[in-house]
Amino acid sequence: MAAKRRTAASPDPRTDCSREGLRKAVLDNLFYATGHAQENAARGDWYTAVAYTVRDRMLKAWVQGIERIAADGDVRCVAYLSAEFLIGPQLGANMLALGITEPMREALASLGQDLDAIVFHEPEPGLGNGGLGRLAACFMDSLATLGVPAIGYGIRYEFGMFRQAIEDGAQVELADKWLRRPFPWELPRGGQQYEVRLGGKTHMETAPDGTLRVQWTPAKTVTACAHDIPVVGHGGTHCNLLRLWRAEAVEAFDFSTFNAGEYFSSVHDKIFSETITKVLYPNDDPYQGKQLRLGQQYLFVSASLQDMLHIHHSLGKPLETFHTTFAIQLNDTHPAVAVAELMRLLVDVHGMDWDTAWSVTTQTFAYTNHTLLPEALEKWPLPLFAEVLPRHLEIVYEINRRFLESVTAAHPEDPDLARRLSLIDETSPRFVRMAHLATVGSKAVNGVAALHSELLKRDVLGDLAAFFPEKFTNVTNGVTPRRWLALCNPALAACISNRIGTRWQDHFEEEIIRLEEFADDPDFQAQWQAAKLTNKQRLTHLAKTILRVELDPAALFDVQVKRIHEYKRQHLNVLRVIALYNRLRRNPGMDFVPRAVIFGGKAAPAYYLAKQIILLVNRVAEVVNTDPAVAGRLRVAFVPNFNVRSGQVIYPAADLSQQISLAGKEASGTGNMKFGINGAVTIGTLDGANVEMRACVGEENFFLFGLTTDEVQAVQRAGYSPAAHLEGNPELAEALDQIRSGVFSRGDAGCFRPLVDNLLHRDEYLVLADFASYMDCQDRAARTYADPAAWTRMSILNVARLGMFSSDRSIREYCRNIWNVPVE
């Protein structure tokens, strides 16, 4: 009663969302959280004060969310296990979810502060490599928005994805010290700590009840400490949890050695423990087996499962019903050791019989695959696995023994099948195949786009899919329309909301289609174009300040931002730029649609050819941007350090989205969707989710080129000869020749030799085979762009018809078809 009376009279200063309330709270936090008075506060202090003010307003929903998970055993909770969560800057997204952006903007303006500048100041937690980690973050946003109880479990890397600098055209990696200042969105949870064992030996022991149990004597034990980040859904009522684990030494010092004077060995254990979660591995593909990485995977998996068992136990439910409390999704195979770990916890620690434990396990897990590159399938060398996880190897062997027995019994006619399906790759050296472990231990396996799921069944996991046909399914990826439209593109969002209201923000599929009827409306088209221009000016400003490259906002903004990889074919794009440049030089008076070609993306530090591609882009930019013959009609820019934050500026500014991977290589892609819902038209191959996007927007609203997956396979079977494509294509031959002879390397003829030789003699990703078709398609795109009404219509129809690519739709499908969790 008393509390109610206070609400009526004076609102709680920690939850008041009025302009005046926010203003007071920011000043209060400025003083008490940063120790600064208004006069001498720096931008970072204002950021901290605003962040704490917003966090206070999330805490009620946050605490209720945790209580709901811990108290309501009737609703199955989703546990999303992912080694990466690329959550991006939090402040803007959280204000949007709570609906307090505008009052906060006004409150800060009254204090002489600019909200946008403060939002832009926030360091970004780069806890992921790319698409896979960002997908996990979009899914967390959708789970909270749909009110599905969920915990995201992952790793709190001290150093996230490296910061990319470009020095003299080349990528340089710098450490990402995102925790230099305290991260205001996390709460360290002293109460949630679990011990995780590593290494050592196993032996049998007789339990008090007379049964034999395996005992694991580890070589080391480390503590996993929980750090919780709130994930608030749109509207602010539902809040879920992202629980990231940090490794800590069990004992800070081994005092016996310390006392003996061996200072260094005494701190060694502490250093080893804390190393486990020190740094994110920056390789997006192919997979590399490193002992520390297996340690990272196991640490977060073991701590997460112990945490779930603790929650399940606190609900008073019997262990046999664990799968009714949690549905665990394995985001790729990085957490797949969870299958063996849950078996160990149930059998070794809790004394459950193997068959019951296996039944619980296989009803708990589901596995999402994210790749079509066979070399990216994770496999661990047996000796390494045995050294880090001796008990788990025994469990894997036992799972495999039983599984292969069933394989041989079911298919006596195919004696080789057991070898192909085995969890162990018996080639020398021997490996544990993590995708096989994940598949055998899960009740569902999905790919991330329709084509990908088909190719998984046909090729990559063909034998497993034939053996478990009922497990294999598809859930096409999606992206959150909150961050990837409402937040990053306020100009277009306002234009949309003026016509169809704001309900599209959390009912995207249902509502956004209503834009279709305005596609030819001249007023709407004019507003649409104005919004795009605003966004292009924003990117122009960024390019000017950080790159000193002058872009023309009237030019066609033609953008390829994503990890740099040969299969994604940024070099196809560069060859095209060189060919355009040559055309302009040869014929300066030609009719030419001005273009700004923008690149961005990181290369894995040890990926030599990807780094050559970055250097080539920058060298081509150097030549093209300074050549008076092209007179600014063609510009090339490489935006350094592409990440979530810069993505939020780049996607909204694009006219043309480059999705040009070789068909059959990109599992889905999600950048394609982010561009699309921001009004960019796609030029792309029939790869990943491009296929479904094209079907949705209509073939007349998509620039298609290139070989299909089947054609690619046919070409490769017949014996592909890259050089053959030079004969009929003098533009291509000229471009390659220029790269080779030093035109784009300041006369150094050897500089790009590895890249050119690779294209001429190997060209695994058929760049030369698709070049002619790509050039033609680019010409079609330019002609269409020259007609603003036709282009704008395409742009509007792209947005209107991409409703299904909201991650809300993906999550509904997971809930219904995989997790068996109720959703509205």
Residues 366-405 that bind ligand F58 (CB under 6 A): 370-371
Query: What CA–CA distance (Å, rounded) separates 743 from 736?
Result: 10
List residues bridging with 248 in a β-sheet: 223
Active site residue 370: yes
Answer for the pair 563, 665: CB distance below 8 angstroms, yes or no: no
Give least dist CB 671 to ligand F58, A. Answer: 8
Q: Residue 323 is which amino acid?
A: H
Q: List the one residue out of 660, 651, 709 whose CA is nearest residue 684.
A: 660
Q: Residue 332 is which amino acid?
A: D
Q: How far is CA 744 from the centre of its chain?
A: 33
Which of residues 290 and 816 has its CB atom nearest to ligand F58 in the complex? 290
Q: Is 670 in the site for ligand F58 (CB under 6 A)?
A: yes
Query: What CA–CA distance (Å, rounded) separates 14 from 12?
Result: 5
Q: Which of 156, 234, 293, 563 is catalytic?
A: 563
692, 694, 699, 702: CA torsion to nearest 10: -170
Answer for the pair 782, 594: CB distance below 8 angstroms, yes or no: no
Active site residue 562: yes
Give least dist CB 123 to ligand F58, A. Answer: 21
Q: Name, in order, each residue with C-beta under 8 angstroms of 7's C-beta and a sequence gap of 6 or more.
A: none
Query: What CA–CA distance (Å, rounded) separates 672 from 676?
Result: 6
Q: Is 103 in the site for ligand F58 (CB under 6 A)?
A: no
**Which stretch in 152-160, 280-288, 381-389, 547-555 sits in contact with ligand F58 by CB under 6 A?**
280-288
Binding mask 454-483 for ligand F58 (x = CB under 6 A): -----------------------x------
Q: Residue 206 is which amino acid?
A: T
Q: Which of 325, 368, 670, 709 is catalytic?
A: 670
Answer for the pair 162, 279: CB distance below 8 angstroms, yes or no: no
Q: Which of 55, 370, 457, 611 is catalytic?
A: 370
Query: What CA–CA distance (Å, rounded) separates 305 from 764?
Result: 41
List residues bridging with 736 in a β-sheet: none
Query: What CA–CA distance (Å, rounded) separates 622 from 626?
Result: 6
309 CB burial (10 A radius; 0-12, 13-18, 19+): buried
Give least dist CB 766 to ligand F58, A. Answer: 18
Answer for the pair 684, 704: CB distance below 8 angstroms, yes or no: yes
Query: What CA–CA distance (Å, rounded) separates 229 from 247?
Result: 17
Query: What CA–CA distance (Å, rounded) separates 399 from 354?
Result: 10
Please give the size of the binding site for ligand F58, defined by CB under 6 A: 19
Q: Which of 293, 674, 694, 812 is catalytic?
A: 674
Q: Is 807 in the site for ligand F58 (CB under 6 A)?
A: no
Q: What are phi and psi of 242, to 5 degrees?
A: -110, 115
Active site residue 568: yes
Q: Which of 53, 129, 480, 778 binds ligand F58 (CB under 6 A)?
A: 129
Q: Is 668 in the site for ligand F58 (CB under 6 A)?
A: yes
Answer for the pair 140, 152: CB distance below 8 angstroms, yes or no: yes
Query: What CA–CA distance (Å, rounded) separates 233 from 801?
Result: 24
Give least dist CB 126 to ligand F58, A. Answer: 12
Which of residues 161 and 736 has its CB atom nearest to ligand F58 in the complex? 161
DSSP assigned state of 638: E
Q: Which of 460, 663, 667, 769 binds ligand F58 (CB under 6 A)?
A: 667
Answer for the pair 788, 500: CB distance below 8 angstroms, yes or no: no
Measured over the CA atoms of residue 419, residue 425, residue 426 and residue 432, the dihedral's sign is negative
Active site residue 674: yes
Q: Is 154 in the site for ligand F58 (CB under 6 A)?
A: no
Q: Which of 66, 132, 247, 487 binds ligand F58 (CB under 6 A)?
A: 132
Q: Is 130 in the site for ligand F58 (CB under 6 A)?
A: yes
Q: Residue 4 is which amino acid?
A: K
Q: Which of helix, strand or coil describes residue 658?
A: strand
Q: Is 297 in the site for ligand F58 (CB under 6 A)?
A: no
Q: Which of 344, 457, 568, 576 is catalytic?
A: 568
Q: Is 126 in the site for ligand F58 (CB under 6 A)?
A: no
Give least dist CB 180 to ligand F58, A. Answer: 25
Query: What CA–CA distance (Å, rounded) separates 748 from 751?
Result: 6
Give least dist CB 438 to ligand F58, A. Answer: 14
Q: Which of 666, 692, 763, 770 binds ligand F58 (CB under 6 A)?
A: 666
Active site residue 334: no
Give least dist CB 297 to ligand F58, A. Answer: 10
Q: Residue 599 is which amino acid?
A: F
Give least dist CB 818 to ligand F58, A. Answer: 15
Q: Is 94 in the site for ligand F58 (CB under 6 A)?
A: no
Active site residue 457: no
Residues 674-733 that bind ligand F58 (CB under 6 A): 688
Which of residues 16 and 284 has its CB atom nearest to ligand F58 in the complex? 284
Q: Is 658 in the site for ligand F58 (CB under 6 A)?
A: no
Give least dist CB 684 to ligand F58, A. Answer: 13
b/e code 738-772 from CB counts within 10 Å (16+ = b): bbbeebbbeeeeebbeebbebbeeebebbbbbbbe
Which of residues 284 and 511 has its CB atom nearest to ligand F58 in the complex? 284
Q: Residue 139 is which amino acid?
A: F
**Which stretch in 127-135, 269-277, 399-407, 577-585 sits in contact with ligand F58 by CB under 6 A?**
127-135
**Which stretch in 52-60, 279-287, 383-391, 543-551 sits in contact with ligand F58 by CB under 6 A?**
279-287
Residue, CB closest to ligand F58: 131
Q: Which of 131, 233, 295, 640 binds ligand F58 (CB under 6 A)?
A: 131
Q: Which of 141, 158, 284, 307 binds ligand F58 (CB under 6 A)?
A: 284
Q: Which of 56, 285, 394, 622 binds ligand F58 (CB under 6 A)?
A: 285
Binding mask 418-457 for ligand F58 (x = CB under 6 A): ------------------------------x---------
Q: List the one residue out of 297, 166, 120, 160 whose CA is nearest residue 564.
A: 166
Give least dist CB 660 to ligand F58, A. Answer: 13
Which spans of this chain sit near ligand F58 (rule: CB under 6 A)? 129-132, 135, 283-285, 287, 370-371, 448, 477, 666-670, 688
Q: Which residues are catalytic?
A: 370, 562-563, 568, 670, 674
